[in-house]
Amino acid sequence: MYCIIPFFTYLCSEIGNMSVDNTESQMRKGLLELCILGIIQRQQEAYPSDILEQLKESKLVVLEGTLYPLLTRLKNAGMLSYRWEESVSGPPRKYFALTGDGVKFYEHLRTTWDELSNAVNNLTVSL
């Protein structure tokens, strides 16, 4: 289960019987894996706090308690590897990188996102 905090606050969080916040949260949850893998792919490897910062800068705020289990699940599935690096200012840091399977998985998700995004835009954007 992911816990995502919406960055934007709506004056009206319900329209009829539909919760806008819940729908928005579900949309964000579905894209979180893609975004995290994209950050790691772009940087070659990433430290979890750097991932959180980039998500925050992109207005996709995620709690640490959401990110770490997701990274562990992706690692256990063979999509990520990690290495430890000593730190002069604290404990060693764990840096994550995509494995060969992780790159393929990311590329597949990215293709799916592109197709889905195009389809949604075609169906919802006014002329």
Q: In angstroms, what CA-CA distances link 33 with 67, 70, 125?
A: 9, 8, 26
- Judge contact between 4 and 27, C-beta under 8 A: no
Going from N- to C-terminal start, the domains of the chain cover 37-124
Taking only the tens place, the pLDDT of each residue in 40-73 is 999 999 999 999 999 999 988 888 899 999 999 9
The CATH code of domain 37-124 reads 1.10.10.10
Three-state secondary structure call for residue 81? strand
Query: Quick one: pLDDT at residue 109?
Result: 95
Query: Quick one: pLDDT at residue 9?
Result: 41
Taking only the tens place, the pLDDT of each residue in 6-17 is 444 444 455 666
Cβ-based neighbour number of residue 14 at 10 Å: 11
Query: Quick one: pLDDT at residue 61?
Result: 80
pTM: 0.79
Tell whether the model's pLDDT for residue 78 goes beyond 50.
Answer: yes
Cβ-based neighbour number of residue 91 at 10 Å: 8
